[in-house]
Structure 1
Amino acid sequence: MENVRTTTARPAVWLMFAIILVALNLRPSMAAVGPLLSAIRGDIALSFSLASLLTMLPVMAMGLAMFFGIRISQRLGELRTVLLSLLIIGLATLSRLMIDSAAELIASAVLAGIGIALIQALMPALIKSRFPDNVALCMGLYVTSIMGGAAIAASFAPLMLAHTGSWRIALAVWAALALLAFVSGWTQRKNLSSPAAVATQKESFFNNSRAWLLAIFFGLGTASYTCVLAWLAPYYVEKGWSEQNAGLLLGFLTAMEVISGLVVPAIANRSRDRRGVLMALLGLIIAGFCGLILSPQHLSLLWLCLLGLGIGGLFPMSLIVSLDHLDNPQRAGGLTAFVQGIGYLIAGLSPLMAGIVRDQLGSFEWAWWSLTAVMVIMLLMVWRFDPRHYTRHFD
């Protein structure tokens, strides 16, 4: 009996490994830009306002493409969709070897964002259908791998620049990671469905109030992630820290996010009622923002630890709560695509809005206070996520 279980479990382990490799490709095209920005601006004409588009536009593209991702996966099948997406990401990343203008750099970012969105639209349904008994744990591994990819790219891109002397190579080298994931995905072709095996059911969630609640919840939570990613280092530079030390703070926060993304879904997997975990995570974020505002120079690592643990756990838990609402993997996948589509459109605007607040009021503190208020609103929203009432919101 044990041999049968081992034989059955082995393909699932290799499939999860392939999913992790794919997920590692979903942020380097964006995360590698920030640490190299000064070198890029020294070579091509790129204002800070244009530079902000390198994060904003891919996130917006990810949101818009979410609405088409499920249809494409239904037509092409899971395997072809994943491989096509990795090909798009890889080519967009590799094209940066030949970039000579800001417009070309932004175009490569948008193209990568579309490839990223196709994978993110498909993956929740794939995980729910292949790992029905461990959805929270596997979603945690998947989302943690996304954040891990960002951390790896942000950390190693400056080293690549130092070794090669070329920011173009430091940006383009991440195409190798897409190639590795492409090969791993191809080895899983027996475990991924053909077009005929994918449900062709089309369902719109635009008229469903619960779907909008989930989307807004995901978008507001992701807004805190994108704002911290964009403005934490500049905030500490304004406080007198060096750019290198401010970057190390961001790296520490990202490490906390990865740890939380792994641990929190595993803890939450013990109960279908996720509200206690969600409230604890939001409490951590609120405490972190308050510390960041009131005492940024003292106990700074503590505030960033609280923020990282809260944000890192909230991201996967927001998707897990969406998946919990529907048992059918295809319907649940369609719902999470809608949630991410609307959510990323909300989150894509948040760094720009925080920048406007900074320009108008002269301080990042007001942006942090605004996000703190948003987290309090999300605490009130959490009470609506009673698993006993999920079925009444979807026919």
Structure 2
Amino acid sequence: MPGPSGRLPFAALILLIGINLRPSLASIGPLLDQIQRDTGLDDTSASLLTSLPVLLMGLCLLGTGRVQATLGRRGGVAAGLAALAFAGLARWLWPTVPALLASAVVGGVGIAVVQALMPAIIRERAGAQTAMLMGFYSTAIMGGAALASFAAPRLALAHGWAAGTGVWALPALVGLMVWWRAMGNLGQPASVRTASMVSRNSRSWLLLSFFGLGTGAYTLVLAWLPPYYTGLGWSAQNAGALLSALTIAEVAAGTGVALAVDRFPDRRPLMLLAAGTLFVGLLCLAFAPLALSWLAALLCGLGIGALFPLGLIVAMDHGTDAVEAGQIAGFVQGGGYVLAAFLPLIAGVLRQHLADLAPAWWLMAALCLVLALIAVRLRPGARITS
């Protein structure tokens, strides 16, 4: 597996990029109550701080081919990291509702651009180790969320919520500088296929649905788990620590998938185990949120942490080369994030009108059964010809 330069292994570089792709989202949940008190946002509007960037991520990812043709791969990833840095600085310097919403838009686009381009780059550079490297890339994404959910409320306690949500501009700037220096030799692929070709295959829609529902569970807990527990009397720091524990479990599961996935040419046993684990964790949240809080976080984290990389890995399994695998991943992520964006929004509406988030956990538990049905249908060996 060739590195981008003699000094920086490729695996280390993708970990650095991945860790920057969730703090702008993960730092919001633990501080949402404070943000609402200071800005007057209601629950439905507050849900847009997570739903809006996820929706934009999806819409932008559906245009992977155009992104690559317009910005190039090196420039595209750099532009995405620059957008994340700008979004963080906007929150830090201008802690107002317009700045929060604008930063959600800019940050969502930045994440989308990076995630549109990285799978094909990994496939091209990693070769036979693609599944393992995709697992570590996904794990790095979840690791960034764990760091942000733990650190944001503690930074906010000392410096205010603007610093807790905006300080993540700094690692994005570091990632931008390292990426630009390390990937000077990154060229363009020979051809770019359009997402419309991929969308004509019904199997693409199964892959999209699996990724979207699994990611929907991720965005749901990212946005609403801390407010759920602050509503039950926990402090913002303890609620953030619970979300951090959940995301650490995600990292552990993602690492396990990365190390074990090549031993399972048929990915379905892993997919079913992940969906089942998440299902049990959601039942714990709905039935006994206080008594089983840490068990619920562990189980939900393990389930989500395995579903996220598996959704990407199984999608890329269907490509015959790096370009096709990247295009399939772009389509699956794009439509999947559009689908995932609605779950935090639905939860916000439920909280505003029912003053209770338990129905959201029940809804996600029911969707876990749908995930299992989809997984059963994803037998190995198929290809999507584009």
Q: TM-score, length-normalised on structure 2?
A: 0.92
Aligned to 2:98: 103
Shift in CA distance, 13/327, structure 1 to aligned 2, threshold 3 Å: farther
CA contact (8 A) 1:32 1:154 kept: yes
Alignment partner of 1:182 is 2:176: yes
Q: Quick one: higher RCO (CA 8 Å, sep 6+), 1 or 2?
A: 2
Conservation of the 8 A alpha-carbon contact between 2:266 and 2:379 = yes
Offset of residue 206 of structure 1: 2.6
Residue 394 of structure 1 deviates from its aligned partner by 2.8
Matching residue of 2:43: 48
How much has 1:102 moved relative to structure 2? 0.7
Alignment of 1:285-304 (within 5 A): 285-304=278-297
Alignment of 1:171-250 (within 5 A): 171-193=165-187, 195=188, 197-204=189-196, 205-250=198-243
Q: 1:171: how far off?
A: 3.0
CA deviation after TM superposition for structure 1 residue 384, in Å: 1.4
Q: Which of the residues 23, 28, 35 maps onto 1:33?
A: 28
1:128-182 residue CA offsets vs partner (Å, 9 max, x unmatched): 111121122111111111111112122222333344x343333332221111111
CA distance in 2, matches of 1:57, 1:317: 24
- Give the equivalent residue in structure 1 for 2:262: 269
- Give the superposition deviation at 1:367: 2.0
Asked whether 1:91 is paired with 2:83, we answer no
Deviation at 1:244?
3.4
Give the 3 Å change call, closer, same or farther, for CA 161–256 of structure 1 in structure 2.
same
Q: Distance in 2 between matches of 1:129 and 1:16?
A: 13
**More displaced 10-residue stretch of structure 1: 361-370 or 214-223:** 361-370
Q: Structure 1 pair 185/143, CA: closer, same or farther in 2 (3 Å)? A: same
Given the alignment of the two structures, is residue 68 of structure 1 paired with residue 63 of structure 2, yes or no?
yes
Instruction: Give the alignment of 1:311-330 within 5 angstroms.
Output: 311-330=304-323
Where 2:295 maps in the other structure, the secondary structure is helix
Instruction: State whether structure 2 residue 372 is matched by structure 1 residue 394.
Output: no
> What is the distance in 2 between the residues matched to 1:306 and 1:298?
14
Higher mean displacement: 72-81 or 126-135: 72-81
User: Out of 343, 349, 364, which is 1:350 matched to?
Assistant: 343
Structure-2 residue corresponding to 1:255: 248
Identity rate of aligned residues, in percent?
A: 41
Residue 138 of structure 1 aligns with which residue? 133
- Aligned-partner SS, 1:201: coil
Q: Which amino acid aligns with 2:135?
A: G
CA apart distance, 1:9: 10
Deviations 1:192-221 (A, max 9, x none): 22x4x4423335223221111111111111
Rounded Cα–Cα distance in structure 1 between residues aligned with 2:359 and 2:249:
24
Unaligned runs of 5+ in 1: none
Residue 282 (1) aligns with residue 275 (2): yes
**Distance in 2, Cα, partners of 1:39 & 1:176:** 23
Query: How many matched pairs?
Result: 385
Cα shift readout 1:231-278 (whole Å, capped 9, x = no counterpart): 223333444444433332222111101111111232112232101111
In 2, the alpha carbon distance for the partners of 1:243 and 1:182 equals 31
Structure 2 stretches lacking a partner, 5+ long: none
Contact 1:69 1:119 in 2 (8 A): no
How far residue 54 of structure 1 moved from its aligned partner, in angstroms, is 0.9
**Greater Cα radius of gyration, structure 1 or 2:** 1
1:166 and 1:203 map into 2 onto residues whose CA distance is 43
RMSD: 2.4
Indicate how the Cα distance of structure 1 residues 232 and 92 shifts in structure 2: closer, same or farther if over 3 A, else same.
closer
Return the alpha-carbon distance in structure 2 between the equivalents of residues 68 and 235 of structure 1. 35
Q: Deviations over 1:65-94 (max 9, x none)?
A: 112233222343211111111112212222
Structure 2 CA distance for partners of 1:123 and 1:12, relative to 1, 3 Å: farther
Distance 2:128 2:120 in 1: 13
Deviations 1:273-332 (A, max 9, x none): 101111111111111122222333334322221111111111010010000011211111
Q: For residues 7 and 185 of structure 2, what CA distance do their matches in structure 1 show?
A: 8
TM-score scaled by length of structure 1: 0.90
Q: Which string of whole-angstrom CA distances, capped at 9 and with x for unpartnered residues, describes residues 331-355 of structure 1?
A: 1111111111111111101111123
**Cα distance change on mapping 1:296 and 1:166 into 2, 3 Å:** closer
User: 1:300 & 1:64 partners in 2: Cα distance?
Assistant: 34
Cα distance in 1 for partners of 2:52, 2:109 equals 10
- Aligned mates of 1:8, 1:98 — CA distance in 2: 37
